[in-house]
Structure 1
Amino acid sequence: MECLKLAIQEVQNLDPGEKFLVKDLFKGYEWNRLAIGDRRLLGSLFLHEVKNRDLKDKIKIEVKSSANQQQYIKI
């Protein structure tokens, strides 16, 4: 999924200690153009990358937001 690659690349632009949601890694109109199902899939794939792949040493998983969105923090 191309959006996943873009999200992973965008993480490098964040400052250490910065909290974020996956949607924060996209410009507003880019995120809004994604179908809701694609947004959910992207969120699941990103979480999998953080838990099991290259990002697990760069990103910490935080508690979910009040809107039930997974929050992250760059290490």
Structure 2
Amino acid sequence: MSDANELLEEAIKETENLNEGEVFLVKDLFKGYVWNRIPRKDRLLLGTLFLNYVNKMEGNIKAIEKTSSNQQRYKKTIGK
């Protein structure tokens, strides 16, 4: 299984395939069966790492609200 940093790189790369204005969760960046194979502790760590990445980078992904199940939602904005 990939480590959290490799998963983070995959998630960041996958955001390039999103359309402007699209709202998503980190789990949406992985195929369902791939996401389900990631151990829960690694999924939680990945979520934290992705949020930290988004907050530190001046990119085109913005953290928006959390879902009712406490998952962070993101939105792809206009690219720079």
Give TM-score scaled by structure 2 length. 0.88
Q: RMSD between aligned alpha carbons?
A: 0.7
Alignment gaps of 5+ in structure 1: none
Matches within 5 A, 1:55-70: 56-70=58-72
Instruction: Name the larger-Rg structure.
Output: 2
**What aligned pairs does 1:43-62 form with structure 2 within 5 A after superposition?**
43-53=47-57, 56-62=58-64
Deviations 1:27-57 (A, max 9, x none): 000000000000000000000000012xx32
Structure with bigger helix share is 1
Alignment partner of 1:38 is 2:42 = yes
Unaligned stretches of 5+ residues in structure 2? none
What's the counterpart of residue 27 of structure 2?
A: 23
How many pairs does the alignment contain? 73
Identical counterparts, % of pairs: 55
Which has more strand, going by share of residues? 2
TM-score (norm 1): 0.94
